[in-house]
């Protein structure tokens, strides 16, 4: 088993054998733009000719095991080239290479003078930074907002379709509806397994369901009260399901896109609120800049305008939270803690949006740590539900409510 | 008081200067690597044919640390420096002045907006700098762009910065190399008092093989900040 370490650099790809001796190299073209493009591909885990060429040559020399410093590249090489790989972030060969970068550049004839290497390093890093930054154009916040709204539209449609499918396929296998909550799994099983007679333990497990769940479904299927179904009728349901599954993969695709773009447009908001919720807030506010200008109290009820107006009209209690209610911290919080958590969360999202809009730095880990700590304080301070007073109808006017809430704030623990 | 403007080398630190202004006040300065260009609005001074940039301690923690009595400034002529959390280049630009044309400053920054400013306003005029858009927590993601360095400067204002710095050192720092860590005491753990936070972070560095050489508080230039200097 002969091991080689692959080290990539601005010059090209290098292969080191046992004792960290340089045995093979593949230079990139000396053009800075072309080099940057290659490095970007490597970063994204895309195989490029220089690397597969290098590995081919190493294989010819008898090397069978390949060490990479970066996991993404290792995974790709393993899949695409069918070679044995391992990952070692600061490999000995890599460290040696970085220590002797200038010497290697000179000895290998890549440059004649050290200054040329310095200049090349500068140019390539500029080009690579430009490629990576270029994707961040103004107004991209509105594009990501539209993508999030599309996810929401899809969810509505998917719910509608799935209600129909569950009822439709339910004529044949009514009990399944209750047993499988996840729409996607339900659809997939209908497409893959078809009629209820095929819902056996083995097949269900093959589809990735846990053992006990498979057992339960199989038992219910065997004793099902549903009517028989002919091939034609089943095929139509399956056809519908397969299209729904495609919509699910479209949804996943959109979600990945939102995730990636949010990282560039509003990384702090994304880190604190989550990418979908962050995108929804941007959409509701009409842009990142607008979102950043909102006071925390508005952030807290953004998306609950309907409820707010209703409360103004009917004198019902004003809403405590808008769509930030979707955040797991509030969602999973105890009922009586939610208002306080919502306030804390809204405060942090407000700061995050401002950093994104005005400073562009990344500071969200701090914000997240602060928030978690605040939530912990809340859960410790209010472990039990407050005693419920006899319900009294209170007069409610916008301004007054604010004052009352401020007073309540003051009584709460200080930040 | 009206005196003649003059510039003298700092007695202890190579490539760092004392600038005496017309009103008699004394400011730190560095030789402008890119004459004519100011990076963050700092004043440019011409003296005996050379242009210097005033180095503002309220804007740059390294300048603050020097004014607060740093014994070693592990950045000097011809050195390679890895800078984590370069933002839009305030401090990195002065380091670029110091290391000069045979040195190099590798600037890692996570936020694309800051990096864009860094590229357009600073690195474009300084061929001894490289901008790197990356997360400093993942040194292996930019190892292709960086060579071995003799100093790592870390100012990311994030929790776990000591660990992140040590991870970078494993990959890029030369034997016997130096690190500087700007610690924002409140930003690591809001519940602990500043001194405690600094102790914890320095303990992490020690456990990873560093000798702590000095810790200086940066008041009044920066509240609740300290600069840690250590050697591997
Ligand atoms: C306090 S500022 C640095 C100021 C700069 N050192 C100066 O003096 O000019 C901190 C910077 O670290 C960046 N940052 C935060 N976390 C980071 C990470 N994990 N990787 C890289 N940069 C990060 C932020 O985006 C921000 O620009």
The whole-model pTM stands at: 0.72
The predicted-structure confidence for A195-222, as pLDDT tens digits, reads as follows 999 999 999 999 999 999 999 999 999 9
Is the pLDDT at B212 greater than 80, yes or no?
yes
The predicted-structure confidence for A123-151, as pLDDT tens digits, reads as follows 999 999 988 877 655 578 888 899 999 99
**What are B's interface residues with A at a Cβ cutoff of 8 A?**
87, 101-102, 104, 106, 110-117, 119, 123-124, 127-133, 139-141, 143-148, 157-160, 170-172, 174, 187, 189-191
Ligand 1 pocket, residues with Cβ under 6 angstroms: A 361-362; B 60-61, 84-85, 87, 90-91, 108-111, 114, 135-137, 155-158
Find out whether B216 and B70 touch, Cβ atoms under 8 Å.
yes
pLDDT band at A81 (very low <50, low <70, confident <90, very high): confident
Q: Min CA distance, B67 vs chain A (Å)?
A: 27
For residue B140, which residues of chain A lie inside 8 Å, CB to CB?
A: 69-71, 89-90
A343 C-beta neighbours (distance < 10 Å), count: 22
The predicted-structure confidence for B5-30, as pLDDT tens digits, reads as follows 889 999 989 999 999 988 888 999 99
A207 C-beta neighbours (distance < 10 Å), count: 14
The predicted-structure confidence for A246-303, as pLDDT tens digits, reads as follows 999 999 999 999 998 898 889 999 999 999 999 999 998 988 989 999 999 888 888 8
Average pLDDT taken over every residue of chain A: 86
ipTM for the predicted complex comes to: 0.86
User: What's the confidence (pLDDT) of residue A411?
Assistant: 38
User: What's the confidence (pLDDT) of residue A210?
Assistant: 92
Report CA-CA distances (Å) from B17 to A302, B14, B53, B76, B102.
Answer: 53, 8, 10, 13, 20
B157, HSE (Cβ side, Cα atoms, 13 Å): 18
């Amino acid at each position: 088993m002969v091991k080689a370490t692959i080290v990539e650099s601005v010059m090209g790809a290098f292969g080191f054998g046992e004792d960290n001796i340089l045995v093979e190299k593949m230079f990139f073209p000396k053009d800075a733009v072309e080099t940057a493009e290659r490095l970007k591909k490597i970063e994204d885990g895309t195989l490029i000719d220089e690397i597969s060429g290098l590995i081919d040559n190493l294989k010819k020399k008898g090397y069978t095991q390949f060490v990479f410093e970066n996991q993404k590249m290792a995974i790709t090489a393993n899949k695409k080239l069918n070679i044995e790989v391992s990952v070692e972030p600061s490999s000995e060969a890599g460290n040696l290479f970085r220590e002797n970068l200038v010497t290697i550049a000179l000895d290998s004839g890549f440059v004649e003078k050290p200054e040329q290497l310095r200049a090349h390093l500068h140019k390539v890093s500029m080009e690579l930074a430009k490629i990576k930054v270029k994707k961040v154009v103004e107004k991209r916040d509105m594009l990501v907002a539209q993508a999030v709204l599309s996810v929401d539209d899809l969810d509505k449609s998917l719910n509608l379709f799935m209600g129909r499918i569950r009822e439709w396929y339910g004529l044949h296998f009514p009990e399944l509806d209750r047993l499988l909550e996840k729409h996607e799994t339900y659809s997939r099983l209908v497409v893959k397994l078809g009629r209820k007679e095929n819902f056996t333990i083995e097949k269900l497990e093959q589809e990735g369901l846990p053992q006990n769940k498979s057992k339960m479904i199989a038992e219910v299927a065997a004793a099902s009260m549903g009517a028989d179904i002919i091939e034609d009728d089943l095929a139509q349901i399956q056809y519908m399901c397969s299209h729904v599954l495609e919509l699910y993969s479209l949804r996943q695709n959109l979600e990945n896109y939102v995730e990636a773009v949010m990282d560039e447009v509003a990384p702090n908001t994304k880190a604190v609120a989550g990418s979908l919720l962050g995108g929804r807030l941007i959409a509701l506010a009409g842009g990142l800049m607008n979102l950043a200008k909102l006071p925390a109290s508005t952030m807290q009820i953004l998306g609950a305008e309907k409820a707010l107006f209703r409360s103004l009209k009917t004198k019902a209690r004003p809403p405590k939270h808008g769509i930030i209610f979707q955040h797991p911290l509030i969602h999973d919080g105890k009922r009586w803690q939610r208002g306080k958590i919502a306030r804390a969360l809204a405060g942090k999202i407000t700061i995050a949006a401002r950093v994104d809009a005005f400073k562009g730095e990344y500071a969200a880990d701090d914000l997240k740590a602060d928030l978690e700590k605040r939530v912990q304080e809340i859960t410790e301070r209010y472990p039990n539900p407050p005693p419920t007073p006899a319900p009294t109808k209170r007069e409610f006017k916008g301004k007054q409510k604010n004052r009352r809430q401020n007073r309540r704030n003051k009584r709460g623990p200080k930040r | 008081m009206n005196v003649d403007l003059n510039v003298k080398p700092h007695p202890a630190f190579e490539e760092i200067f004392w600038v005496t202004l017309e009103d008699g006040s004394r400011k730190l300065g560095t030789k402008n690597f890119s004459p004519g260009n100011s990076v963050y609005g700092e004043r440019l001074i011409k003296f005996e044919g050379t242009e210097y940039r005033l180095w503002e301690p309220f804007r740059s923690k390294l300048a603050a640390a020097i004014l607060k009595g740093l014994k070693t400034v592990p950045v000097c002529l011809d050195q390679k420096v890895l800078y984590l959390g370069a933002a839009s280049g305030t401090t990195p630009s002065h380091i670029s002045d110091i290391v000069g044309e045979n040195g190099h400053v590798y600037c890692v920054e996570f936020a694309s907006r800051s990096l864009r400013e860094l590229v357009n306003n600073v690195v474009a005029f300084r061929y001894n700098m490289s901008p790197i858009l990356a997360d400093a927590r993942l040194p292996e993601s930019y190892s292709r762009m960086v060579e071995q360095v003799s100093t790592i400067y870390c100012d990311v204002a994030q929790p776990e910065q000591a660990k992140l710095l040590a991870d970078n050192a494993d990959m890029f720092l030369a034997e016997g190399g130096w690190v500087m860590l700007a610690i924002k005491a409140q930003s690591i753990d809001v519940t602990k008092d500043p001194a405690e936070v600094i102790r914890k972070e320095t303990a992490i560095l020690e456990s990873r093989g560093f000798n702590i050489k000095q810790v200086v508080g940066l008041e009044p230039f920066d509240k609740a900040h300290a600069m840690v200097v250590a050697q591997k």
